[in-house]
Amino acid sequence: MTDSTQTLPVPEAVGKLYDRLTLTALNDGTFNPNIHIGFWDTPDSTATLEEAVDRLTDVLIERLLVDDSAHVLDLGCGVGGPGIRVARETGARVTGISISQEQVKTANRLAAEAGLADRAEFRHADAMKLPFEDGTFDAVMALESIIHMPDREQVLTEVARVLRPGGRLVLTDVFERAPRKAVTHPSIEKFCRNFMVTLADADDYVAMLHRAGLRLRGLLDITEHTMQRTFTELARPTAGAERPEALGQTNLPDLFRPSDMVGVDEFGCLLVAAVRP
Ligand SMILES: C[S@@+](CC[C@H](N)C(=O)[O-])C[C@H]1O[C@@H](n2cnc3c(N)ncnc32)[C@H](O)[C@@H]1O
């Protein structure tokens, strides 16, 4: 369930945002194969943002429990960084989908360049209506993608349908850490508006998984490992993310910059694992 006061993302518009972001990054030399936050194991970890971003993919891999016999769906695959890493680290076959055509093109190119085109393949599709038969996948990963989808419960119902019995789902999501205030922090509100994101209702997550036909295997608030450090790193001038055009925002009256989120510790991240019974 999503707070009814939040504006629901429109998949086609989200696709255009990521088309823009991909082309800008390819043109200005800031391209990164991963589009998600970092994970630092300890507060004094010296890992760079780049290392921490891969570490978050590895945190997901540890929970996916797949090997080279598995077929994994990467739901909202970005430009393929995480999916290619899963294919390389586990030997699993990965099919990724994104609502952005430019991302799909780039992800397939990166898979070919990595010599993994036979194990990692990307296509354009909307997660709200997956173009796969029932029970196709052994596991589904959704790294920072359900945040853009207009109906979490519908997406999870689709995930349950395409998973085989016993198949696992691992995802990350964003939420406002309790106690939820009457007025959302203006930086969170701006982030959600500019990047077409809604906040999950953390209190309803377990019930929502049940309604979708999934059973909880783990639900962790990983905010302390991820959010503040990521925004602090991105706010450094050398990261280049403070530039208005860097994050794909155009024609917006009030641009979001990573420094807006420094110190806003109510913006939280959840790591969720579930299984299809
Ligand atoms: C923040 S990016 C994360 C990308 C990737 N998981 C990563 O970690 O690098 C969000 C991704 O979700 C995808 N996405 C958002 N809404 C979608 C939808 N309705 N169907 C398919 N993909 C969607 C976007 O196209 C984008 O690839």
| Closest-CA residue to 170 (of 80, 72, 69, 38) | 72
Q: Which of 8, 58, 148 to mutate to test the pocket of ligand 1 (most atoms within 8 A of CB)?
A: 148
Beta-bridge partners for 174: 269
Bigger pLDDT: 249 vs 104: 104
Token pair of 104 as six digits: 């799909």
Check residue 238 and give its pLDDT: 85
pLDDT band at 1 (very low <50, low <70, confident <90, very high): very low
Question: Which pLDDT tens digit goes with each residue over 109-158?
Answer: 999 999 999 999 999 999 999 999 999 999 999 999 999 999 999 999 99
How buried is residue 258: exposed, middle or buried, by Cβ count under 10 Å (0-12/13-18/19+)? Answer: buried
Best of 49, 60, 98, 249 for a ligand 1 pocket test (most atoms within 8 Å of beta carbon): 98
Q: Where do the domains of the chain lie?
A: 11-275
Distance 249 CA to ligand 1 centre (A): 16
**pLDDT exceeds cutoff 90 at 164:** yes
- 210-229 mean pLDDT: 98
Question: Is 140:169 a contact under the CB 8 Å cutoff?
Answer: yes
CA dist 53 and 35 (Å) reads 8
Instruction: Tell me which residue has its CA closest to atom 13 in ligand 1.
Output: 76
pLDDT of residue 3 exceeding 70, the answer is no
* Architecture of the 11-275 domain: 3-Layer(aba) Sandwich (3.40)
Ligand 1: which residues within 6 Å by Cβ? 11, 14-15, 18, 34-36, 76-78, 81-82, 97-100, 103, 126-128, 143-145, 148-149
Rg over CA atoms, the chain: 17
Neighbours of 239 (CB within 10 A): 15
Sheet holding 120-124, edge to edge: 120-124, 93-98, 71-75, 137-142, 163-176, 267-275, 215-221
97: three-class secondary structure by DSSP: strand
* Residues with active-site annotation: 144
Q: Which protein residue has the closest C-alpha to ligand 1 atom 4? A: 78
Q: Beta strands of 143-212 (E only): which ranges?
A: 163-176
